[in-house]
């Protein structure tokens, strides 16, 4: 479903009981991952999907240790991806972000804790707030075996702790990453007063600042 919707449509598209982001009250109790990847020299890459990439990109741009964030499409069977194609919900791709980070400043496990706490609601299935369809699913795309093990262990840890009132819908997948069109890059930063951004994405950044002040920038 296209995300460029009239402001009045949000009340219709968001059913009762569906939050736009993970509630801060619940997220505040989410524990840090017991398993993590030791810091190493050199930059690393994480790929995460959690609804519209505008908000995901906006959140991680405010995390200390993150050097670059690119909006794009991950997974899927096609060898290329574009917004028009992915929006048809026939390519299997998810809107995602590629995060380049310094593991000596922020760990992969910390990025995942932000992902589950502030960046999106991991209990929503094939949607995030007003955006519906598999391309808006919650999914982690590990870039190596170490990331896969940490992600699997953390999902199991959060499930056992009953950190959320509903089951975690996040999937662990594989597949390439394709950068989105130029007009999607830095969209939140360039359009801070857009109604969609104010309703859906500003609260995510606010949650990041409230929950993780030590890594907020």
Please indicate, yes or no, if residue 173 is contained in any of the structural domains: yes
Domains in the chain: how many in total? 1
Please indicate, yes or no, if residue 10 is contained in any of the structural domains: no
Please indicate, yes or no, if residue 95 is contained in any of the structural domains: yes
52 has catalytic annotation: yes
pLDDT tens, residue by residue, 99-127: 999 999 999 999 999 999 999 999 999 99
Short-list 144, 119, 114, 124, CA closest to 37 = 144
Please indicate, yes or no, if residue 26 is contained in any of the structural domains: no
The structure's pTM equals 0.90
Q: Supply the range of the domain harboring residue 203.
A: 40-211
What residue spans of the chain are helical by DSSP H? 10-13, 24-27, 53-60, 83-86, 108-114, 145-161, 187-190, 195-196, 202-211
Catalytic one among 22, 27, 48, 52? 52
Please indicate, yes or no, if residue 16 is contained in any of the structural domains: no
Please indicate, yes or no, if residue 2 is contained in any of the structural domains: no
To the nearest whole percent, how much of the chain has pLDDT over 90? Answer: 84
pLDDT tens, residue by residue, 40-79: 999 999 999 999 999 999 999 999 999 999 999 999 887 8
Short-list 49, 30, 67, 19, CA closest to 180 = 49
Please indicate, yes or no, if residue 13 is contained in any of the structural domains: no
**Whole-angstrom distance, CA of residue 1 vs CA of residue 151:** 28
> What per-residue string of b and e applies to 94-107 under the rule 16 or more CB within 10 Å gives b?
bbbbbbebbbeebb
């Amino acid at each position: 479903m296209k995300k460029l919707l009239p402001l009045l449509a949000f009340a219709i598209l968001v059913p009762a009981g569906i939050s736009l982001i993970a509630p801060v009250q619940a997220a505040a109790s989410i524990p840090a991952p017991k398993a993590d990847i030791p810091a190493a020299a050199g930059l690393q890459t994480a790929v995460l999907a959690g609804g519209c990439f505008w908000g995901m990109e906006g959140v991680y741009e405010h995390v200390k240790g993150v050097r670059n964030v690119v909006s794009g499409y991950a997974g899927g069977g096609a060898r290329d991806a574009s917004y028009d194609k992915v929006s048809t919900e026939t390519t299997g791709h998810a809107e995602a972000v590629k995060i380049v980070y310094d593991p000596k400043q922020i760990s992969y496990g910390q990025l995942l804790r932000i992902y589950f706490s502030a960046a999106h609601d991991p209990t929503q299935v094939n949607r995030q707030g007003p955006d519906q369809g598999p391309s808006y699913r919650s999914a982690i795309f590990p870039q190596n075996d170490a990331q896969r093990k940490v992600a699997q262990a953390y999902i199991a840890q959060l499930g056992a702790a009953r950190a959320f009132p509903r089951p975690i819908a996040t999937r662990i997948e594989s597949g390439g990453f394709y950068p989105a069109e130029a007009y999607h890059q830095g969209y939140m930063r360039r359009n801070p007063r857009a109604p969609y951004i104010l309703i859906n994405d500003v609260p995510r950044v606010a949650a990041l600042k409230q929950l993780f002040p030590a890594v907020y920038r």
